[in-house]
Amino acid sequence: MALLETRGVTKTFGALQALGGVDLTVRAGTFHGLIGPNGSGKSTLLKALAGAHFPTTGSITFDGRDITTALPYERSRAGLSLKFQITAVLPELSVYDNVLLALQANRSMWSLVRSQSRQAMHSNIMKSLDQFRLSPRADDLAGELSHGEQQWLEIAMALAPKPRLLLLDEPTGGMSPEERRVTGELLLPIKAECALVIVEHDLDFIKHICDHLTVLDQGKVLDDGTVEEIENSKKVQEVYTSRV
Ligand SMILES: Nc1ncnc2c1ncn2[C@@H]1O[C@H](COP(=O)(O)OP(=O)(O)OP(=O)(O)O)[C@@H](O)[C@H]1O
Ligand SMILES: [Mg+2]
DSSP string, 105-125: HTS-HHHHHT---HHHHHHHH
Asked if 58 and 22 count as a contact pair (C-beta separation under 8 A), the reply is yes
Which protein residue's CA is at the shortest distance from atom 26 of ligand 1?
38
Q: Which ligand ends up closest to the CA of 42? A: 1
Distance CA 232, CA 101 (A): 44
Q: Which ligand ends up closest to the CA of 20? A: 1
Q: What is the pTM of this model?
A: 0.91
pLDDT digits (tens), the chain, 244 positions: 799 999 999 999 999 999 999 999 999 999 999 999 999 999 999 999 999 999 999 999 999 999 999 998 899 889 998 775 556 899 999 999 999 988 877 665 555 555 666 778 899 899 999 999 999 999 999 999 999 999 999 999 989 888 999 999 999 988 999 999 999 999 999 999 999 999 998 889 999 999 999 999 999 999 999 999 999 999 999 887 775 4
Is any atom of ligand 1 closer than 6 Å to the C-beta of 53? no
Pocket test for ligand 1, best of 10, 11, 12, 13 (most atoms within 8 A of CB): 13
Distance CA 210, CA 31 (A): 5
The enclosing H or E element of 184 equals: helix 177-187
**Neighbour count for residue 86 (Cβ, 10 Å):** 9
Complete domains list, the chain, with CATH: 2-89+163-243 (3.40.50.300)
Please, what is the end-to-end C-alpha distance for the chain in angstroms?
33
Which protein residue's CA is at the shortest distance from atom 17 of ligand 1?
43
Is any atom of ligand 1 closer than 6 Å to the C-beta of 10? no
- Which sign does the torsion angle of CA 166, 153, 40, 226 carry? negative
Is any atom of ligand 1 closer than 6 Å to the C-beta of 32? no
Asked if 155 and 132 count as a contact pair (C-beta separation under 8 A), the reply is yes
